[in-house]
Chain A
Amino acid sequence: MSFLEALGKLLSNLKLPDINFNIDLSNNINIKKDDHSQKTEYHDDSKNLTINLAKLDSSERKALKDILPKAIEDGYSILEDETKKSIEDFKAKDSSAGNKEVLDFLKPKIPPEDFNIWRASLYMRSFFEAHDKPKTRQLKCDIMQRYGDKGKNIANLCSARYLEEVLIPYHGSLEGKYEDKIVLDKFKSMYKMVVDELPLCVFVNHIMNKNDIKGEIELKKKYGLKYINMHGIGTSNIKKIIEVVDELEKQSKFATKETKEDTHSIFVRLYF
């Protein structure tokens, strides 16, 4: 007997006058615990069935306990409702035209283990760009916990749009000049350096003090690039970056600068 057949039998045994036992259970089954709701509820329009644990007696609860393992056997996932919403939201954003385009670009060119880090980072970026700070912080924390320093670097690079503004244009600049295999090799080499070492940029976080920021700039200057980008989010990081840039300017440590600042973030490019 399948899970749905067993569930149908259980519902039938509950002897509920308001439920037609030929209901279509294909849409959603929800389990809740609420003293103020009925034992079960079924909505014809949404085809949602809700089972209320608070109203089941011990034999009914045992009957449910007997059939739930069958649901797992039949390939059902049993998920907290917020997780289901996150999955639906993730799937919608992951398959959006913009994300799909950059993910399709990346997939054949990067290490397979990096691919989900970019998917997670693009998802995080959607909240970052919507100024949803708590969700952005939670997702970045998740990415860092699961994927370590590489996760942190990719999350930062993704938020600052290095994929669209550096990596993809770099690949474009190689196409036509070299054979496909050389283009791919050069891109892979550039990608590895950008993701592992962040040669172009300093992402200022709340732990860094002004000396740490200056030290990072000196470290990145060793790559011999014409410029370094500094990124900061939040009032204290913005303040630190402005002060560091003022101090370096007084010491003539760079030639010129470009600054973009809004209420919650700052970008400064220092040219050497």
Chain B
Amino acid sequence: MSKIITFEKNTKEDILDLFDCAVDADGYIIEKQSGQKVPSSDGEPLELKDFVGLKKGSLVFIRTGINSVIELADTIQDNNQ
């Protein structure tokens, strides 16, 4: 069983809101409470346009790109085993 919940592109900001995050004036994802930019798994701040999801590891914000696709493909494979 693949443990995946999907969301459509037009709900990105709603998804962030459901995790108490928002987007600042420069397009970066921030924590609502602290106003701090949230990093993606590479440690760099993440823009809304590059945000494609969340995963476990406390809470990991996933950046778009082939590297994330490979990591997720391997992780999901592990979940199935």
A residues in contact (CB < 8 Å) with B: 26, 28-33, 53, 61, 64-65, 68-69, 71-84, 86-87, 90-91, 94, 116, 119-120, 123-124, 139, 142-143, 145-146
Residue of A with least CB distance to B11? A33
For B6, list chain A residues within 8 Å (CB).
28-31, 78-81, 84
Q: For B19, give its contact among A32, A68, A123 (CB under 8 Å).
A: A68
B residues in contact (CB < 8 Å) with A: 1, 3-12, 14-15, 17-19, 51-56, 59, 62, 64-70, 72-73, 75-77, 79
Cα–Cα distance between A74 and B67 once the two chains are bound (Å):
24
Given A83-B64, A87-B73, A87-B76: A30 touches B8 (CB 8 Å cut-off)? yes
Inter-chain contact B19/A116, CB cutoff 8 Å: no
Inter-chain contact B11/A76, CB cutoff 8 Å: no
Q: Knowing that A77-B72, A80-B51 are A-B contacts, what are 11 other residue pairs whose CB atoms are under 8 Å apart, sorted by A's residue number?
A: A29-B6, A30-B8, A65-B17, A68-B19, A71-B5, A72-B54, A74-B3, A78-B53, A80-B12, A124-B66, A142-B65
Inter-chain contact B18/A64, CB cutoff 8 Å: yes
Given A65-B18, A139-B66, A146-B66: A32 touches B3 (CB 8 Å cut-off)? no
Cα–Cα distance between A5 and B9 once the two chains are bound (Å):
27
Cα–Cα distance between A55 and B7 once the two chains are bound (Å):
15
Cα–Cα distance between A53 and B62 once the two chains are bound (Å):
22
For B11, list chain A residues within 8 Å (CB).
31-33, 53
For B17, list chain A residues within 8 Å (CB).
65
Inter-chain contact A116/B69, CB cutoff 8 Å: no
**30 pairs across A/B with beta carbons < 8 Å?**
A26-B1, A28-B4, A30-B6, A31-B11, A32-B8, A32-B10, A33-B8, A33-B14, A64-B18, A65-B17, A68-B18, A69-B19, A71-B5, A72-B55, A75-B56, A76-B56, A77-B3, A77-B72, A78-B15, A78-B55, A79-B5, A79-B72, A80-B53, A81-B9, A83-B53, A83-B64, A91-B77, A120-B66, A120-B70, A146-B67
Residue of A with least CB distance to B7? A31
Residue of B with least CB distance to A77? B55
